[in-house]
Amino acid sequence: MKCEKCMTGYLLLDNGQKPSLSIRVHLLLCEKCRREVAELASHFETIKSMEPAFPRRGVEENVMQIIRHSQVMYSKKVSATTWISAELLILASIVLVQFSPAKIWLDAVIGKQHHIILSATLGILITIFSALLIMTNLDALNDFKRRFFTMIR
């Protein structure tokens, strides 16, 4: 089970409902999710303890205050393997578009004037995608660089 699915399943539980076996197993194996669930549980306990002390209208404000000060950040990280696979797919399409029936048809109808536009568009696409790949995986690239140069020495 992935972390995102585990947290979604945990957040969908009703008050007092026990988590499913798959969620409990994931929490047993994943320290990050276990820490987030413990933090959420403490927030829920804080909310439960505050409820009788405040009128019904004030509860929403208190909950939002706790959420604003919470340090839990949810983000979805795309792995470097997925990025590189997608980039290889784009590069393969750049090569294979030369043999596609649509390009052959365009050559016959329009002529070869569209080659520069097509090449520039695909070049810009691969450049943007490469830049996004590098920007989102700087830590992994620095780690790779450090290991590579250590291995060379």
Q: What integer pLDDT is reported at residue 58 of this predicted model?
A: 65
Q: What is the pLDDT of residues 34-43, one digit of tens each?
A: 898 888 888 8
pTM for the structure as a whole = 0.41
Structure tokens at 148: 């590579």
> Which class for 19: exposed (0-12), middle (13-18), buried (19 or more C-beta within 10 A)?
middle
| pLDDT of 49 above 80 | no
**Distance (Å, whole) CA 102 – CA 95:** 14
Q: What integer pLDDT is reported at residue 13 of this predicted model?
A: 83
- Each domain of the chain, given as residue ranges in start order, spans 3-69, 80-152
pLDDT band at 70 (very low <50, low <70, confident <90, very high): confident
Helix (H) or strand (E) holding 25: helix 21-29
Q: Which residue has the higher pLDDT, 78 or 32?
A: 32
Q: What is the pLDDT of residues 136-149, one digit of tens each?
A: 878 777 887 888 88
**Distance (Å, whole) CA 42 – CA 95:** 55
> Which class for 56: exposed (0-12), middle (13-18), buried (19 or more C-beta within 10 A)?
exposed
Structure tokens at 128: 């943007």
Helix 138-152 vs helix 114-136: crossing angle, to nearest 10:
80
pLDDT band at 103 (very low <50, low <70, confident <90, very high): confident
Q: What integer pLDDT is reported at residue 57 of this predicted model?
A: 57
Amino acid of residue 29: L
